[in-house]
Amino acid sequence: MPAFLRAPARRTVFAAAALCLAAALPAQAAEEVTLYTTREPGLVKPLLAAFTARTGVEVNTVFVKDGLLERVKAEGTRSPADVLMTVDVGNLLDLVEGGVTQPVKSAALEAAIPSQLRGADGQWFSLSMRARVLYADKNLQLTALRYEDLAAPKWKGKVCTRAGQHPYNTALVAAMLAHSGEAATEKWLQGLKANLARKAAGGDRDVARDILGGICDIGIANSYYVGQMKTSKEGSDARKWGDAIKVIKPTFAKSGGTHVNITGASLAKHAPQRANAVKLLEFLTSEPAQAMYAQANYEYPVRAGVALDPVIAATIGEVKPDTLSVAEIAKYRKQASALIDKVGFDR
Protein backbone atom coordinates (compact mmCIF):
# COMPACT_ATOMS: atom_id res chain seq x y z
CA MET A 1 0.00 0.00 0.00
CA PRO A 2 1.41 3.45 -0.86
CA ALA A 3 2.44 5.44 2.19
CA PHE A 4 0.04 8.28 1.71
CA LEU A 5 -3.32 6.87 0.64
CA ARG A 6 -6.30 9.16 0.83
CA ALA A 7 -9.26 8.05 2.97
CA PRO A 8 -11.48 6.90 0.04
CA ALA A 9 -8.62 4.84 -1.38
CA ARG A 10 -7.97 3.29 2.01
CA ARG A 11 -11.62 2.31 2.35
CA THR A 12 -11.43 0.64 -1.08
CA VAL A 13 -8.41 -1.35 0.09
CA PHE A 14 -10.25 -2.43 3.25
CA ALA A 15 -13.28 -3.52 1.23
CA ALA A 16 -11.06 -5.55 -1.10
CA ALA A 17 -9.34 -7.12 1.89
CA ALA A 18 -12.70 -8.07 3.34
CA LEU A 19 -13.61 -9.90 0.14
CA CYS A 20 -10.28 -11.70 0.16
CA LEU A 21 -11.11 -13.02 3.61
CA ALA A 22 -14.39 -14.57 2.47
CA ALA A 23 -14.93 -18.26 3.15
CA ALA A 24 -15.76 -20.74 0.43
CA LEU A 25 -19.07 -21.69 2.05
CA PRO A 26 -22.16 -19.47 1.57
CA ALA A 27 -23.24 -17.26 4.46
CA GLN A 28 -25.75 -18.65 6.93
CA ALA A 29 -28.38 -15.93 7.27
CA ALA A 30 -29.58 -17.18 10.65
CA GLU A 31 -26.17 -16.69 12.26
CA GLU A 32 -25.61 -13.35 13.99
CA VAL A 33 -23.77 -11.59 16.80
CA THR A 34 -24.43 -8.22 18.44
CA LEU A 35 -21.63 -5.77 19.18
CA TYR A 36 -21.95 -2.78 21.50
CA THR A 37 -19.06 -0.41 20.85
CA THR A 38 -17.81 3.08 21.63
CA ARG A 39 -15.46 2.86 18.65
CA GLU A 40 -16.20 5.18 15.72
CA PRO A 41 -18.26 3.43 13.01
CA GLY A 42 -15.81 3.96 10.18
CA LEU A 43 -13.01 2.29 12.13
CA VAL A 44 -14.77 -1.01 12.83
CA LYS A 45 -17.12 -1.53 9.89
CA PRO A 46 -14.41 -2.83 7.51
CA LEU A 47 -13.36 -5.40 10.10
CA LEU A 48 -16.91 -6.50 10.77
CA ALA A 49 -17.59 -6.84 7.04
CA ALA A 50 -14.51 -9.05 6.75
CA PHE A 51 -15.71 -11.19 9.65
CA THR A 52 -19.11 -11.70 8.02
CA ALA A 53 -17.46 -12.49 4.68
CA ARG A 54 -15.31 -15.16 6.29
CA THR A 55 -17.84 -16.73 8.68
CA GLY A 56 -21.30 -15.90 7.36
CA VAL A 57 -22.15 -14.45 10.77
CA GLU A 58 -23.93 -11.11 10.50
CA VAL A 59 -22.88 -8.41 12.99
CA ASN A 60 -25.55 -6.20 14.51
CA THR A 61 -23.62 -3.11 15.60
CA VAL A 62 -24.84 -0.69 18.25
CA PHE A 63 -22.67 2.42 18.63
CA VAL A 64 -22.83 3.79 22.16
CA LYS A 65 -21.09 7.13 22.59
CA ASP A 66 -21.57 7.38 26.36
CA GLY A 67 -22.99 5.30 29.18
CA LEU A 68 -22.15 1.84 27.86
CA LEU A 69 -21.94 0.29 31.33
CA GLU A 70 -25.18 1.91 32.46
CA ARG A 71 -27.00 0.73 29.33
CA VAL A 72 -25.91 -2.89 29.64
CA LYS A 73 -26.74 -2.91 33.35
CA ALA A 74 -30.20 -1.51 32.69
CA GLU A 75 -30.89 -4.15 30.02
CA GLY A 76 -29.88 -6.94 32.40
CA THR A 77 -30.56 -10.49 31.29
CA ARG A 78 -32.59 -9.17 28.33
CA SER A 79 -29.54 -7.45 26.80
CA PRO A 80 -28.87 -8.50 23.19
CA ALA A 81 -25.20 -7.54 23.57
CA ASP A 82 -22.69 -10.31 22.85
CA VAL A 83 -19.43 -8.34 22.62
CA LEU A 84 -18.57 -5.05 24.35
CA MET A 85 -15.82 -2.93 22.78
CA THR A 86 -14.19 0.26 24.15
CA VAL A 87 -11.32 2.56 23.17
CA ASP A 88 -9.66 2.77 26.58
CA VAL A 89 -8.51 0.12 29.04
CA GLY A 90 -10.03 2.08 31.92
CA ASN A 91 -13.47 1.99 30.33
CA LEU A 92 -13.03 -1.70 29.57
CA LEU A 93 -12.12 -2.50 33.15
CA ASP A 94 -15.13 -0.48 34.31
CA LEU A 95 -17.28 -2.99 32.43
CA VAL A 96 -15.52 -5.89 34.13
CA GLU A 97 -15.78 -4.31 37.58
CA GLY A 98 -19.40 -3.40 36.85
CA GLY A 99 -20.24 -7.09 36.49
CA VAL A 100 -21.45 -7.03 32.87
CA THR A 101 -18.78 -9.33 31.37
CA GLN A 102 -17.90 -13.02 31.56
CA PRO A 103 -14.62 -14.92 31.12
CA VAL A 104 -13.46 -16.53 27.90
CA LYS A 105 -11.00 -19.40 27.72
CA SER A 106 -9.49 -19.39 24.25
CA ALA A 107 -6.11 -20.76 23.15
CA ALA A 108 -6.29 -18.56 20.05
CA LEU A 109 -6.72 -15.37 22.08
CA GLU A 110 -4.02 -16.32 24.56
CA ALA A 111 -1.57 -17.09 21.76
CA ALA A 112 -2.27 -13.85 19.92
CA ILE A 113 -2.29 -11.35 22.81
CA PRO A 114 0.65 -10.78 25.20
CA SER A 115 -0.19 -11.41 28.84
CA GLN A 116 0.12 -7.73 29.89
CA LEU A 117 -2.50 -6.84 27.27
CA ARG A 118 -5.29 -9.17 28.42
CA GLY A 119 -7.03 -10.06 31.64
CA ALA A 120 -5.50 -12.97 33.53
CA ASP A 121 -9.04 -14.27 34.11
CA GLY A 122 -10.11 -13.96 30.47
CA GLN A 123 -12.51 -11.09 31.17
CA TRP A 124 -11.00 -8.66 28.64
CA PHE A 125 -8.70 -8.62 25.61
CA SER A 126 -6.72 -5.93 23.79
CA LEU A 127 -7.33 -5.56 20.07
CA SER A 128 -4.98 -2.72 19.14
CA MET A 129 -2.52 -0.32 20.77
CA ARG A 130 -1.66 3.35 20.49
CA ALA A 131 1.52 4.76 21.95
CA ARG A 132 1.81 7.99 23.96
CA VAL A 133 4.78 9.52 22.18
CA LEU A 134 6.46 12.89 21.78
CA TYR A 135 6.14 15.17 18.80
CA ALA A 136 9.26 17.28 18.29
CA ASP A 137 10.33 20.05 15.94
CA LYS A 138 11.86 18.14 13.02
CA ASN A 139 14.96 20.37 13.18
CA LEU A 140 15.57 19.65 16.86
CA GLN A 141 18.70 17.61 17.58
CA LEU A 142 16.86 15.03 19.65
CA THR A 143 16.60 11.29 19.17
CA ALA A 144 15.71 9.90 22.61
CA LEU A 145 13.97 11.08 25.76
CA ARG A 146 12.45 9.58 28.89
CA TYR A 147 9.04 10.64 30.18
CA GLU A 148 10.80 11.75 33.37
CA ASP A 149 12.94 14.18 31.32
CA LEU A 150 9.90 16.28 30.43
CA ALA A 151 10.13 17.87 33.88
CA ALA A 152 13.78 18.91 33.44
CA PRO A 153 14.46 22.69 33.59
CA LYS A 154 15.99 22.64 30.07
CA TRP A 155 12.47 22.27 28.67
CA LYS A 156 10.99 25.26 30.50
CA GLY A 157 8.46 27.02 28.26
CA LYS A 158 8.95 24.46 25.48
CA VAL A 159 6.34 21.73 26.10
CA CYS A 160 2.77 21.47 24.80
CA THR A 161 0.06 18.98 25.69
CA ARG A 162 -3.69 18.60 25.93
CA ALA A 163 -5.46 18.75 29.33
CA GLY A 164 -4.10 16.58 32.09
CA GLN A 165 -7.60 15.36 32.90
CA HIS A 166 -8.08 13.98 29.40
CA PRO A 167 -8.04 10.15 29.60
CA TYR A 168 -4.93 9.98 27.37
CA ASN A 169 -2.89 11.99 29.88
CA THR A 170 -4.55 10.62 32.99
CA ALA A 171 -3.46 7.16 31.85
CA LEU A 172 0.12 8.40 31.40
CA VAL A 173 0.15 9.88 34.91
CA ALA A 174 -1.30 6.62 36.22
CA ALA A 175 1.59 4.77 34.61
CA MET A 176 4.07 7.13 36.25
CA LEU A 177 2.40 6.48 39.61
CA ALA A 178 2.66 2.74 39.07
CA HIS A 179 6.36 3.04 38.31
CA SER A 180 7.53 5.76 40.68
CA GLY A 181 5.01 6.31 43.46
CA GLU A 182 3.02 9.39 44.47
CA ALA A 183 5.77 11.68 45.78
CA ALA A 184 7.97 11.32 42.68
CA THR A 185 4.98 11.62 40.33
CA GLU A 186 3.75 14.79 42.03
CA LYS A 187 7.21 16.33 41.68
CA TRP A 188 7.29 15.28 38.02
CA LEU A 189 3.87 16.80 37.34
CA GLN A 190 4.92 20.07 38.96
CA GLY A 191 8.03 20.18 36.79
CA LEU A 192 6.06 19.36 33.65
CA LYS A 193 3.51 22.07 34.42
CA ALA A 194 6.35 24.58 34.91
CA ASN A 195 7.67 23.65 31.46
CA LEU A 196 4.39 24.21 29.59
CA ALA A 197 4.58 26.74 26.78
CA ARG A 198 0.82 27.32 27.01
CA LYS A 199 -2.14 26.11 29.05
CA ALA A 200 -2.72 22.37 28.81
CA ALA A 201 -5.66 22.28 26.38
CA GLY A 202 -6.80 21.40 22.88
CA GLY A 203 -6.11 18.10 21.16
CA ASP A 204 -3.08 16.07 20.17
CA ARG A 205 -2.93 17.50 16.64
CA ASP A 206 -2.83 20.97 18.20
CA VAL A 207 0.55 19.98 19.64
CA ALA A 208 1.93 19.59 16.10
CA ARG A 209 0.21 22.81 15.05
CA ASP A 210 1.87 24.73 17.89
CA ILE A 211 5.27 23.21 17.16
CA LEU A 212 4.95 24.47 13.57
CA GLY A 213 3.87 27.86 14.96
CA GLY A 214 6.95 28.11 17.19
CA ILE A 215 4.98 28.03 20.43
CA CYS A 216 6.70 24.88 21.70
CA ASP A 217 9.50 22.50 20.74
CA ILE A 218 8.08 19.20 21.95
CA GLY A 219 4.74 17.83 23.06
CA ILE A 220 2.92 14.74 24.30
CA ALA A 221 0.53 13.09 21.83
CA ASN A 222 -0.78 9.77 20.50
CA SER A 223 1.04 7.94 17.74
CA TYR A 224 -1.90 7.43 15.37
CA TYR A 225 -2.47 11.15 14.81
CA VAL A 226 0.83 11.19 12.92
CA GLY A 227 -0.66 8.90 10.29
CA GLN A 228 -3.80 11.00 10.07
CA MET A 229 -1.84 14.22 9.56
CA LYS A 230 0.69 12.84 7.10
CA THR A 231 -2.02 11.38 4.87
CA SER A 232 -4.11 14.55 4.84
CA LYS A 233 -4.52 16.46 1.61
CA GLU A 234 -1.33 18.02 0.29
CA GLY A 235 -1.23 21.68 1.35
CA SER A 236 -3.86 21.27 4.08
CA ASP A 237 -3.19 22.57 7.58
CA ALA A 238 -3.11 19.05 9.00
CA ARG A 239 -0.52 17.95 6.41
CA LYS A 240 1.66 20.96 7.25
CA TRP A 241 1.47 20.10 10.96
CA GLY A 242 2.46 16.51 10.29
CA ASP A 243 5.34 17.50 8.05
CA ALA A 244 6.69 19.89 10.71
CA ILE A 245 7.38 17.20 13.31
CA LYS A 246 9.36 14.07 14.00
CA VAL A 247 8.38 11.47 16.57
CA ILE A 248 10.33 10.43 19.65
CA LYS A 249 9.40 7.19 21.42
CA PRO A 250 9.86 8.08 25.10
CA THR A 251 10.38 5.41 27.74
CA PHE A 252 10.05 5.07 31.49
CA ALA A 253 13.34 5.03 33.36
CA LYS A 254 12.44 1.86 35.26
CA SER A 255 10.96 -0.29 32.50
CA GLY A 256 12.58 1.02 29.34
CA GLY A 257 9.18 0.75 27.67
CA THR A 258 6.78 3.21 26.03
CA HIS A 259 3.33 3.88 27.49
CA VAL A 260 0.48 2.40 25.44
CA ASN A 261 -3.28 2.41 25.73
CA ILE A 262 -5.61 0.01 23.96
CA THR A 263 -8.81 -0.67 22.17
CA GLY A 264 -10.24 -3.83 23.69
CA ALA A 265 -13.29 -6.01 24.08
CA SER A 266 -15.07 -8.35 26.47
CA LEU A 267 -17.72 -11.02 26.21
CA ALA A 268 -21.03 -9.71 27.57
CA LYS A 269 -22.30 -11.47 30.70
CA HIS A 270 -25.64 -12.50 29.17
CA ALA A 271 -24.44 -12.94 25.57
CA PRO A 272 -27.25 -14.79 23.75
CA GLN A 273 -24.84 -15.72 20.93
CA ARG A 274 -21.83 -16.74 22.99
CA ALA A 275 -20.19 -19.02 20.42
CA ASN A 276 -20.37 -16.38 17.69
CA ALA A 277 -19.09 -13.75 20.12
CA VAL A 278 -15.98 -15.80 20.86
CA LYS A 279 -15.60 -16.37 17.13
CA LEU A 280 -15.64 -12.58 16.58
CA LEU A 281 -13.06 -11.94 19.30
CA GLU A 282 -10.77 -14.58 17.84
CA PHE A 283 -11.17 -13.15 14.35
CA LEU A 284 -10.29 -9.64 15.53
CA THR A 285 -6.93 -10.93 16.79
CA SER A 286 -6.18 -13.02 13.69
CA GLU A 287 -3.34 -11.94 11.40
CA PRO A 288 -5.51 -10.58 8.55
CA ALA A 289 -7.78 -8.65 10.92
CA GLN A 290 -4.85 -7.26 12.90
CA ALA A 291 -3.35 -5.92 9.66
CA MET A 292 -6.64 -4.27 8.78
CA TYR A 293 -6.98 -2.88 12.31
CA ALA A 294 -3.53 -1.32 12.09
CA GLN A 295 -4.30 0.34 8.76
CA ALA A 296 -7.79 1.53 9.70
CA ASN A 297 -6.49 4.06 12.22
CA TYR A 298 -2.68 3.83 12.13
CA GLU A 299 -2.62 1.83 15.37
CA TYR A 300 -0.26 -0.87 16.56
CA PRO A 301 -1.31 -4.53 16.28
CA VAL A 302 -1.31 -6.50 19.52
CA ARG A 303 -0.33 -9.64 17.64
CA ALA A 304 3.38 -10.04 17.02
CA GLY A 305 4.62 -10.27 13.44
CA VAL A 306 1.86 -8.20 11.84
CA ALA A 307 3.13 -5.45 9.55
CA LEU A 308 2.59 -1.85 10.60
CA ASP A 309 0.83 0.66 8.41
CA PRO A 310 3.52 2.03 6.03
CA VAL A 311 3.13 5.58 7.34
CA ILE A 312 3.67 4.51 10.95
CA ALA A 313 6.51 2.19 9.95
CA ALA A 314 8.30 5.04 8.18
CA THR A 315 7.74 7.78 10.75
CA ILE A 316 7.72 5.94 14.10
CA GLY A 317 8.55 2.28 13.66
CA GLU A 318 8.01 -0.49 16.17
CA VAL A 319 7.49 0.38 19.84
CA LYS A 320 8.51 -1.57 22.91
CA PRO A 321 5.44 -1.35 25.18
CA ASP A 322 5.80 -0.75 28.90
CA THR A 323 6.17 -4.09 30.64
CA LEU A 324 3.60 -3.22 33.30
CA SER A 325 0.16 -4.67 32.66
CA VAL A 326 -2.28 -2.06 31.36
CA ALA A 327 -4.69 -3.35 33.99
CA GLU A 328 -2.17 -2.61 36.75
CA ILE A 329 -1.69 0.92 35.41
CA ALA A 330 -5.45 1.47 35.24
CA LYS A 331 -5.72 0.89 38.99
CA TYR A 332 -4.08 4.29 39.50
CA ARG A 333 -6.54 6.29 37.36
CA LYS A 334 -8.42 7.93 40.24
CA GLN A 335 -5.21 8.72 42.10
CA ALA A 336 -3.77 10.21 38.91
CA SER A 337 -6.82 12.42 38.39
CA ALA A 338 -6.64 13.68 41.99
CA LEU A 339 -2.93 14.46 41.63
CA ILE A 340 -3.49 16.37 38.40
CA ASP A 341 -5.99 18.57 40.23
CA LYS A 342 -3.71 18.92 43.26
CA VAL A 343 -0.87 20.48 41.23
CA GLY A 344 -3.33 22.63 39.24
CA PHE A 345 -2.05 21.17 35.97
CA ASP A 346 -4.98 22.38 33.86
CA ARG A 347 -5.23 25.85 35.38
Angle between helices 41-55 and 274-284 (to 10 degrees): 110
Angle between helices 167-180 and 333-342 (to 10 degrees): 100
- Residue 3 pLDDT > 60, yes or no? no
State the span(s) of the chain assigned CATH 3.40.190.10.
Answer: 7-129+260-308, 131-258+320-342
Bigger pLDDT: 204 vs 325: 204
Beta carbons within 8 Å of 245's beta carbon, 6+ residues apart? 135, 136, 137, 138, 208, 211, 212, 226
Q: What is the pLDDT of residues 291-307, one digit of tens each?
A: 988 887 899 999 999 99
The model's confidence at residue 160, banded by pLDDT at 50, 70 and 90, is very high
Report the pLDDT averaged over residues 187-203.
98
pLDDT at 254: 84
For the chain, the average pLDDT equals 91
The model's confidence at residue 256, banded by pLDDT at 50, 70 and 90, is confident
The model's confidence at residue 30, banded by pLDDT at 50, 70 and 90, is low
Kindly report the CATH number that applies to the domain delimited by 7-129+260-308: 3.40.190.10
Question: For 14-28, 37-51, 141-155, which range has the lowest pLDDT when averaged over its residues?
Answer: 14-28
Q: What is the pLDDT of residues 86-113, one digit of tens each?
A: 988 989 999 999 999 999 999 999 999 9
Q: Which amino acid belongs to residue 16?
A: A
pLDDT at 296: 78
DSSP state string for 31-61: -EEEEEE-S-HHHHHHHHHHHHHHH--EEEE
Kindly report the CATH number that applies to the domain delimited by 131-258+320-342: 3.40.190.10
pLDDT at 26: 42
- Residue 204 pLDDT > 50, yes or no? yes
342: left (phi over 0), alpha (psi -120 to 50) or beta: alpha
pTM for the complete prediction? 0.85
Q: Answer for the pair 267, 274: CB distance below 8 angstroms, yes or no.
A: yes
Q: Answer for the pair 93, 81: CB distance below 8 angstroms, yes or no.
A: no
Report the pLDDT averaged over residues 246-251.
97
- Residue 5 pLDDT > 70, yes or no? no
The model's confidence at residue 7, banded by pLDDT at 50, 70 and 90, is very low
| Percentage above 90 pLDDT, the chain | 83
pLDDT at 255: 83
pLDDT at 41: 78
Report the pLDDT averaged over residues 39-45.
84
